[in-house]
Amino acid sequence: MLQRLIGRVTRLSPKQAFVAATALLMTLGVLTAVAASANPAPNSPNISSGPANPSPDGSAKFVFASSTSGVAYKCALDSAAFAGCTSPVSYAALALGNHMFNVRATQGDKTSGTTSFGWTVQVARPNLTANVMPATQSTSVTFIFTNGQAGITYLCSVDGSAASTCASPLTLNNLTERAHTFSVVARSALATSTPASFTWSVDRTPPPAPKISSAPVNTTSTAASVAFTDSESGVTYRCSLDGTTPSACTSPSAYSGLAVGMHSVAVAAVDAAGNVSPTTSAAWTVQQPPQPVSGSNITLAGSVTRQLAPGLSAPLDVSITNPNNFDVVVSNLQITVNPRTTKAGQSNPQCDGPTNLKITQFSGAAFKVKESRTLTLSALGIAQSQWPVVTMPDLPTNQDACKSTTFTYTYAATVTRGQS
C-alpha cells in the first residue's frame, strides 16, 4: 500500500503532492499507534518459593516468574528502591522483625504490577506439653516441645537452674515433693525465643481427715444430712453410706428413704493431686416410729383453775387416764370448745361455746403416762406455762347470758405405746 501511495505522489502537482504526503504521514502515525497498543504490560510475576513465616534466621530466597516471555525483573526489599534482579534472588543478614519482598516484570517501557511477599524474622516460642496435671503424685514427668521451625536447637532449665541444650521428649525423674518449674527456649543462629514454661507440684501427702460438724442422732426420721469440713483448702470429698463404694459428695450430704436400723456415713477428703485422707464416720439409728395404740381407752378431761369472766384467762390442767397394762405416750394434744352450753342443767342457746371461750393449745412436748394411772399435767411436772389456756374474750355484745353457764370441751391426742 505504501508503494502505491508513493507512486501516486510522483504523478501529482506540487500542491497535490503536499496534501498526499501529509495524508501518508498521518497514516503511518496510526499504524505506529496500533503497533504500540499491540504490546501491553507484562503479567505480574508469581512468587513460587519464599522463606518460612516466621523464619528463624536472617536469610531469605525467592523464586519467581512471569507468564509473559522475554521479560526482565526488578526487585526491592523493604523500603529499598527497585533494582534489576533475576530468579532466584537471595538476601542475608536480615534483622529481626517484619520484612517485605517486592518484584515486578518489565518489557521495553512496560512494567507489570507488583507482587509482594511479607514475612517475619523471629524465633517462635516453643509449644510445650506435659504428661502431668499441675498437681500430681508422680515423681517423674515427660515434656514434649517444638516450635515448628527448621534449624532450631533448644535450651532447657529446671527450677531456675542454668539452661542447657536439650531435646524433645525430655523426662525428669526422682523429683522431690514440692513445686517445680520447667522452661524451654528455641534458639537459632540469629536469636533466641521467649521461654515456654510449665509449673506443677509433686504432692504425695494426704490431706487431714475431715471433721463432721453435724450428723443425725437416733431418730425416727428416714432422712438424714451430714455436714463436714477439712482444714486443707481446695479439697473435694468422697462419701460412703453404709459401706457402699465411695462417690463424690459435697457438704452437707443428704440421704433419704433410709430403712429402720443402724446407718453410717464415712467421709474422706481428696486433694488436687488425688491423695485421699483417712475417713471420718458418723453413725446413727433410724428407730421404728411409735405406732398408735388401737383401742387404748385413754380418757382425757380437764378443769380450769379459776372462775372465768369477760377478759379473764385460766390454765386448763388436763388429766389423762391410762387403763392399759402398758405405758403410753401422748402427743399432739388438742382441745376444742363445744358449741352447746348448759345453765342449771338446761341448754343455754344464748351462750355459744366457741364464741365466748377461746383456747390457746398445749405447747409442751409429748409426755408419758404410766400403765393403769390417771395423771394430770401438774402431776406430770409439766410447767403451767405449757398448759392449754382458756380465755373468755370481752366482747362488744352483752355476755350476761353466759353467767353461771357450763362449757364443755372435746379432747384429741395421738397415743402411742411407750418405749420400754
What DSSP character marks residue 400?
A: G
Instruction: Examine residue 293 and state whether it is found in any structural domain, yes or no.
Output: no
Tell me which of 202, 234, 252 is where a domain ends. 202
- 330: exposed, middle or buried (Cβ count in 10 Å: 0-12, 13-18, 19+): buried
CATH code of the domain containing 247: 2.60.40.10
For the cut 80, the answer to whether the pLDDT of residue 130 exceeds it is: yes
Whether 292 is in a domain gets the answer no
Give the CA radius of gyration of the chain: 53
pLDDT at 198 over 80: yes
Averaged pLDDT of the chain: 88
Question: Side-chain half-sphere of 168: how many Cα atoms within 13 Å?
Answer: 19
379-394 average pLDDT score = 95
Are 164 and 264 found together in one domain? Answer: no
Let me know if residue 89 belongs to a domain: yes
pLDDT at position 393: 95
Given 286, 310, 327, the domain boundary residue is 286
What's residue 3's pLDDT?
46
333 vs 389: CA distance, rounded Å: 13
- Mean pLDDT confidence for 226-243: 96
The answer to whether the beta carbons of residues 392 and 356 sit under 8 Å apart is: yes
pTM > 0.75: no
Domain count, the chain: 5
**Residue 5 pLDDT greater than 50, yes or no:** no
| Burial (Cβ within 10 Å: 0-12, 13-18, ≥19) of residue 9 | middle
Q: Is the dihedral of CA 393, 398, 401, 404 positive or negative?
A: positive
Query: Residue 62 is placed in which grid cell?
Result: 525467592
Range of the domain at 325: 299-417
Which range among 103-107, 129-133, 303-307, 401-405 shows the weakest confidence by mean pLDDT? 303-307
Q: Which of 82-96, 290-304, 398-412 has the highest mean pLDDT?
A: 82-96
Tens-digit pLDDT profile for residues 136-173: 999 999 999 999 898 899 999 999 999 999 999 999 99
Q: What does the pLDDT read at residue 294?
A: 56
- Identify the domain boundary among 69, 90, 121: 121
Higher pLDDT, 408 or 231: 231
Please indicate, yes or no, whether residues 117 and 131 belong to a single structural domain of this protein. Answer: no
Q: How does residue 189 score in pLDDT terms, banded at 50, 70 and 90?
A: confident
pLDDT at 91 over 80: yes
Cis-peptide, bond into residue 88, ω within 30° of zero: yes
Residue, of 1 and 12, whose pLDDT is higher: 12
Q: 301: which strand partners?
A: 319
**pLDDT cut 90: percent of the chain above it:** 70
What was the pLDDT predicted at 32? 40
Q: Is the predicted pLDDT of residue 69 greater than 80, yes or no?
A: yes
The predicted-structure confidence for 6-59, as pLDDT tens digits, reads as follows 444 445 565 565 455 445 444 444 444 444 456 799 999 999 999 999 898 889
| pLDDT per residue as tens digits for the range 104-127 | 999 999 999 999 999 999 999 999
**CA pair distance 341, 336, nearest whole angstrom:** 13
